[in-house]
């Protein structure tokens, strides 16, 4: 009981990290893809790219140290599938070798207390959308790499402010070949 009082008096509750949108595209296509037969990379020409299984919105959200890729219905916002990019785990996105607009996504769902996963194909109508999707994932990975170098003085700033610092300010001040890991802010 005494511990509870000390926690409520001196500190605030531990807050859930907020979701920061990194990328959103209103038109993303999902494909049911054949299982991989060998260690070779996936190829979009093995899918019928003109016949997708689902169409909706794709969002990339940063939530603390986790990056969430959500596929949601355009009209209702209902979750169709999601994938997680976590530090120390395999990357959930794999580019196909024959196109820059298609990817294989490792989606996850907790069913009955067991974590299940499946592989689906995703595609974008335009190449710039696919590039921006990859850039958002890369930005989150840069944020994770830079996180250990942050001190309390910079933590109140948003993820976008930190990424601006990494991408623009440090290279501008110290040259394009500066190593961000050398800096302790």
pLDDT digit string (tens) for 76-90? 999 999 999 988 888
57 near 28, Cβ under 8 Å?
A: yes
Give pTM, 2 decimals.
Answer: 0.73
| Residue 20: both structure tokens together | 């920061």
Mind listing the pLDDT tens digit for each residue in 21-59? Answer: 999 999 999 999 988 877 888 999 999 889 999 999 999
CA distance 11 to 9: 6
CA 156 to each of CA 18, 149, 151: distance values in angstroms, whole numbers, following the listed order = 12, 14, 10
All structural domains of the chain, each given as residue ranges with its CATH number in brackets, are: 19-126 (2.30.29.30)
The C-alpha atoms of residue 166 and residue 130 are separated, in whole angstroms, by 23
pLDDT in tens, the chain (185 residues): 444 444 444 445 667 888 889 999 999 999 999 888 778 889 999 998 899 999 999 999 998 889 999 999 999 999 999 999 988 888 999 999 999 999 999 999 988 888 899 999 999 999 999 999 999 999 988 888 877 766 544 444 555 555 555 565 555 555 555 554 444 44
DSSP E strand boundaries for the chain: 19-31, 54-63, 66-72, 79-86, 93-95, 102-111, 114-124
- Report how far residue 154's alpha carbon sits from residue 161's, in angstroms, rounded to the nearest whole number: 9
Q: What residues have CB less than 8 Å from 55, skipping those under 6 apart?
A: 27, 28, 29, 30, 74
């Amino acid at each position: 009981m005494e511990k509870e009082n000390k926690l409520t008096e001196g500190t605030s509750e531990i807050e859930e990290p907020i979701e920061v949108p990194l990328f959103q595209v209103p038109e993303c296509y999902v494909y049911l893809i054949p299982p991989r037969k060998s260690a070779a990379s996936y190829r979009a020409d093995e899918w019928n790219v003109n016949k997708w299984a689902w169409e909706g919105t794709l969002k990339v959200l940063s939530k603390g140290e986790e990056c969430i890729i959500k596929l949601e219905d355009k009209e209702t916002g209902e979750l169709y599938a999601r994938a997680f990019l976590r530090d120390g785990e395999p990357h959930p996105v794999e580019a196909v070798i024959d196109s820059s607009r298609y990817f294989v996504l490792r989606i996850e769902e907790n069913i009955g207390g067991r974590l299940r996963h499946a592989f689906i194909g995703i595609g974008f109508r335009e190449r710039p959308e696919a590039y921006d999707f990859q850039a958002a994932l890369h930005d989150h990975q840069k944020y994770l790499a830079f996180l250990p170098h942050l001190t309390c003085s910079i933590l109140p700033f948003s993820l976008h402010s930190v990424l601006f610092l990494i991408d623009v300010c440090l290279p501008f001040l110290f040259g394009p070949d500066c190593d961000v890991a050398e800096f302790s802010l």
